[in-house]
Amino acid sequence: MPDGSIPTPRPLRDADALAGAGLVPAESLPALRQVAARYAVSVTPAMAALIDPADPADPIAAQYIPRAWELETTPQELADPIADHPHTPVKGVVHRYPDRALLKPLLACPVYCRFCFRREQVGPAGGVLSEAELDTALEWFATHPQVQEAILTGGDPLMLSPRRLAHIVRRLSAMPHIRIIRLHSRVPVADPARITDALAEALDTETALFLCLHANHTREFTDDARAALRRLSRAGVALLGQTVLLRGVNDTAETLEALLRTMLAHRVKPYYLHQLDRAPGTARFEVPIAEGRALLESLRGRVTGLAWPTYALDLPDGQGKAPIGPDFAERRDGGWQVRGPLGGAHFQPDQDAAPAG
């Protein structure tokens, strides 16, 4: 390099780049070019470095490397699986619950997950709100005092420059009715180099700010990810975790336990375990709900209660996220039959009339 600078490794953004890096065989190129033309592809250097190309079942590759079967859709799959569209009052805002709303400042992500529920919307060219559109979206929050929580999602809000992010955080923090700012992001694991001091500073605010990290496998927590998360927590950011239950990635008790324990060891409190949303071409990732419930049940009592996420299904008709078990209590005549996580059971009779006095 003439100026002596170190070349910055770039994300792999198409099938040919993946083949060049030895991550897909050349004979699959024609099919994968078709997939990449339909659904965005990006594998960051951090994630590419974790993939073992010799392992056909590599859990990191499974999440990011396109496969020919993505072009097959099932009758159950929907382009907008959680019905964002009908709940959009102004561009970039999704309002479904009375007390909280989403702000989507852009639709780009560091990586493009092959199971993404917004795969028909996200992409590198991805819908950045213009200054005027962002202003209108923020005005919507300013004029809806019943909304107490602003949830930045996308795309991935940490793809914004620290300057733009600081602007949004400052504007939201100045609204007295906004008591919580939440960001949903994959950046701290997928592209930890983006978590600079300037970015952490952009998130440093008096308003309670939560970052909900999307991570699906213990190996995503590299040393660089650890440093990025530490930087965020030093800036006062509270860390939560969200995971999509995925066939071939985290669908055994061992892989799920390892992930949840690793999250906690990085100060990330597991929040949601999502049942897969049925976006087009994702059926091979689906784990049946009965299996998901059994997996979680096998962890209860064996793994610290801090690791326990809420297993949830985002209802396809836009009716919100519903917890889907497992259940430990069952209504019986005159009380509740409760199973203990350590194997025992207990019948809790209803209390008779409250003692007088």
Q: Does position 210 bind ligand PLP by CB under 6 A?
A: no
Report if residue 116 touches ligand SF4, rule: CB under 6 A: yes
Q: CA 261 to CA 203: how far, in whole Å? A: 26
Sort residue 123 into left (φ over 0), alpha (ψ -120 to 50) or beta.
Answer: left
Q: Which of 308, 214, 221, 204 is nearest to 256 (CA)?
A: 308
CA 285, CA 124: separation in Å to the nearest integer?
23
Please tell me whether residue 274 binds ligand SF4 under the rule CB under 6 A.
Answer: no
Catalytic residue among 118, 119, 171, 186: 118
Residue 151 engages ligand PLP in binding (rule: CB under 6 A)? yes
DSSP 261-293: HHHHHTT-EEEEEEPPP--TT-GGG---HHHHH
Question: In this complex, which beta carbon is closest to ligand SF4, that of residue 36 or of residue 299?
Answer: 36
List the x/- string, 305-324, binding to ligand PLP by CB under 6 A.
----------------x---
Peptide bond connecting 305 to the previous residue in cis, omega within 30 degrees of 0: no
Whether the CB-CB separation of 221 and 239 falls below 8 Å is answered with no
Tell me: does residue 214 bind ligand SF4 (CB under 6 A). yes
Whether 97 is catalytic is yes
Asked if 151 and 102 touch (Cβ cutoff 8 Å), the reply is: yes
Find the shortest distance in angstroms from Cβ 271 to ligand PLP.
7
Q: Does 102 bind ligand PLP (CB under 6 A)?
A: yes
Q: How far apart are CA 162 and CA 220, in angstroms?
A: 24
The string of DSSP letters for 166-209 reads HHHHHHHHT-TT--EEEEEESHHHH-GGG--HHHHHHT--SSEE
Residues 168-207, interacting with ligand SF4 (CB under 6 A):
186
| 156: partner contacted, choices ligand SF4, ligand PLP, none (Cβ within 5-8 A by kind) | ligand SF4
In the bound state with ligand PLP, the residue whose beta carbon lies nearer, of 33 and 321, is: 321
| Catalytic-labelled residue, pool 58, 104, 113, 231 | 113
Among 15, 47, 96, 103, binds ligand PLP (CB under 6 A): 96
Residues annotated as catalytic (active site), given as ranges: 96-97, 100, 109, 113, 116, 118, 277, 314, 321
Q: What does the binding site for ligand PLP look like in residue numbers (CB under 6 A)?
A: 94, 96-97, 100, 102, 151, 321
